[in-house]
Chains A and B, each alone.
Chain A
């Protein structure tokens, strides 16, 4: 975020930060409670992920808009108020339009308000940056969170139920009933993946996988840099 400024905002970096380098679920390990609790199927994960993204975008933009008028002493209560009202709006809208999904996600929709990823972005980014860059940050932090939720949900659903996209109609309407894919016929199910231990184990494996990829890429970059001395000057 060092090279972000009024004139030449580095949107590419913000996007890459949100999706990978600073991913709220993988790297900052924020918002683990909803992440672990509702990632038992793809659709649940997607539902909660999108609701969180929407909250992040809205709260980030509002916090950024008022950033010059809020005294630093009271900024946290103001952020909390903004986030709480955003979540209330989203909760009521989900209750109206995605009622069944709302019932399944239950307490975790109002609990988005306590997701520390949101207040962390308000404090660390939105209160110091312009509205457009806060919008991009909120959007991609949210999408990064959603991506982890969906991946973990897919892992747990495949291992736990042997299906993918079950109950897709909760999000995409009746037409989506056929989306559900049964990967293994006659699968007994693996209860552990659905239960909380499966969430912890699954997230552990995903983070390990990300670290392996990062290490390989680092080694690769180092290799390139060592090979061509000129590249070092360019990169530094």
Chain B
């Protein structure tokens, strides 16, 4: 996969669908661990988002008078829906996933010209829209493993917003490790104090449950690189930039800036690095461009996580760097074969 021209480019559909299938398969280990820690809400969200995305995709393709079959089988809509669903909190009403997937497919993908033409990552546009429009629903997470909800409880909540007797939404949901470290740092506690006071939330490295999810996504991502479905440039430069930022600030003041491991293995860092930022349509096209693009995302993630208004920042960082892609591509054009430096 070394494409040196900028998107849009015509690809063999079979390749696209095989690529998408590989990406979806590589997501499975992370998703299973996610389900283990955070319940079947993950699965319900994925199913709702995928169904909505396919329905929207078919409807818009019909309206735009495009052939339906090749565009459905390429699997990009399904992958968009899965990535969006993986980013959502797990105890959510059904319409959240449906609205996000519909917005991602109709507005972020097809209004810009459909597959291959969208400048912004559709899944992240859907996520950012939901985060801005429904801040309450989008920031309430259930605790890892100890939430005590089975499949039917979650399903019940998804469709009727009722919880089993004795449980209340406000008591059940809590802040994520990233969110609570941010609020408590602003209250003047040090990183160690916060971690010791909430040992069950923070786990060993970066949050109980979260660290395992991130490790599984890391493994899936490495497999994708090994089978050459994605390039190493974006994940490595993104995680490298994030780690570098975390290192500088952690060395300067360990009390108020969490260590590198916390930043790399919490939130959606690995999912973002290997599966979201590597979207071939919206990322930079040349290898040099990809390194700049990934590093930009990593630095933005650190900035927004540390000083911004939101606990995690994959979506906003990816979207901001999507905006910079035309410029990055312009300045990182590989030289034409045979061209000398002077000319």
Q: Is B191 an interface residue (CB 8 A)?
A: no
Please, which residues of chain B bring their CB within 8 A of the CB of A33? Answer: none
Q: Is A70 an interface residue (CB 8 A)?
A: no
CB distance from A200 to the nearest CB of B (A): 11
Chain A binding site: helix, strand, loop or mixed by DSSP? Answer: helix
Q: Is A195 an interface residue (CB 8 A)?
A: yes
Please, which residues of chain B bring their CB within 8 A of the CB of A111? Answer: none
Please, which residues of chain A bring their CB within 8 A of the CB of B132? Answer: 191-192, 195, 197
Identify A190's interface contact among B107, B133, B135, CB under 8 A.
B133
**Least CB separation from B95: chain A residue:** A188
CB pair B107–A201 under 8 Å, yes or no, is yes
Instruction: List 10 contacting pairs A-B, 8 Å CB cutoff, sorted by A.
Output: A188-B134, A190-B133, A191-B132, A191-B133, A191-B135, A192-B129, A192-B132, A195-B132, A197-B129, A201-B107
Interface residues of B in 42-76 (CB under 8 A from A): none
CB pair A191–B134 under 8 Å, yes or no, is yes
Q: Mark A179-212, 1 if CB is under 8 A from B, else 0.
A: 0000000001011100101000100000000000
**Least CB separation from A195: chain B residue:** B132
Please, which residues of chain A bring their CB within 8 A of the CB of B135? Answer: 191
CB distance from B53 to the nearest CB of A (A): 19
Interface size of A by Cβ–Cβ distance < 8 Å? Answer: 7
Please, which residues of chain B bring their CB within 8 A of the CB of A188? Answer: 134
CB pair A192–B133 under 8 Å, yes or no, is yes
| Of A192, A195, A197, most B-chain CB atoms within 10 Å | A192
CA distance A197 to B132 in the complex (A): 10
Given contacts A191-B134, A192-B129, A197-B129, list 10 more A-B pairs with CB under 8 A.
A188-B134, A190-B133, A191-B132, A191-B133, A191-B135, A192-B132, A192-B133, A195-B132, A197-B132, A201-B107
Which residues on B are within 8 Å of A, measured CB to CB? 107, 129, 132-135
CB distance from A62 to the nearest CB of B (A): 43
CA distance A33 to B133 in the complex (A): 22
Please, which residues of chain B bring their CB within 8 A of the CB of A195? Answer: 132
CA distance A188 to B95 in the complex (A): 12
Please, which residues of chain A bring their CB within 8 A of the CB of B134? Answer: 188, 191
Which residues on A are within 8 Å of B, measured CB to CB? 188, 190-192, 195, 197, 201
CA distance A219 to B129 in the complex (A): 37
CB distance from B114 to the nearest CB of A (A): 16
**Least CB separation from A190: chain B residue:** B133
Please, which residues of chain B bring their CB within 8 A of the CB of A201? Answer: 107
CA distance A192 to B135 in the complex (A): 11
CA distance A76 to B129 in the complex (A): 43
A-B residue pairs, 3 tightest by C-beta: A192-B133, A191-B133, A190-B133
CB distance from B187 to the nearest CB of A (A): 27
**Least CB separation from B135: chain A residue:** A191
CA distance A191 to B129 in the complex (A): 9
**Least CB separation from B99: chain A residue:** A190
CA distance A201 to B129 in the complex (A): 12
Please, which residues of chain B bring their CB within 8 A of the CB of A190? Answer: 133
CB distance from A201 to the nearest CB of B (A): 7
**Least CB separation from A194: chain B residue:** B133
**Least CB separation from B111: chain A residue:** A204
Please, which residues of chain B bring their CB within 8 A of the CB of A192? Answer: 129, 132-133
CB distance from A199 to the nearest CB of B (A): 13
Please, which residues of chain A bring their CB within 8 A of the CB of B107? Answer: 201
CB distance from B138 to the nearest CB of A (A): 11
Please, which residues of chain A bring their CB within 8 A of the CB of B129? Answer: 192, 197
CB distance from A36 to the nearest CB of B (A): 16
CB distance from A91 to the nearest CB of B (A): 32
CA distance A178 to B107 in the complex (A): 36
CA distance A190 to B133 in the complex (A): 6
CA distance A191 to B135 in the complex (A): 9
CA distance A195 to B134 in the complex (A): 12
CB distance from B125 to the nearest CB of A (A): 10
CA distance A188 to B92 in the complex (A): 14
CB distance from B135 to the nearest CB of A (A): 7
CB distance from B124 to the nearest CB of A (A): 14
CA distance A201 to B125 in the complex (A): 13
**Least CB separation from B133: chain A residue:** A192
CB distance from B324 to the nearest CB of A (A): 19
CA distance A201 to B103 in the complex (A): 12
CA distance A201 to B135 in the complex (A): 20
CA distance A188 to B132 in the complex (A): 14
**Least CB separation from A204: chain B residue:** B111
**Least CB separation from A193: chain B residue:** B133
**Least CB separation from A192: chain B residue:** B133
**Least CB separation from B103: chain A residue:** A192
**Least CB separation from A189: chain B residue:** B133
CB distance from A152 to the nearest CB of B (A): 17
CA distance A195 to B132 in the complex (A): 9
CA distance A109 to B282 in the complex (A): 40
**Least CB separation from B136: chain A residue:** A188
CA distance A192 to B131 in the complex (A): 9
CA distance A196 to B132 in the complex (A): 11
CB distance from B134 to the nearest CB of A (A): 7
CA distance A192 to B129 in the complex (A): 7
CB distance from B111 to the nearest CB of A (A): 8
CB distance from A66 to the nearest CB of B (A): 46
CB distance from A61 to the nearest CB of B (A): 42
Please, which residues of chain B bring their CB within 8 A of the CB of A197? Answer: 129, 132
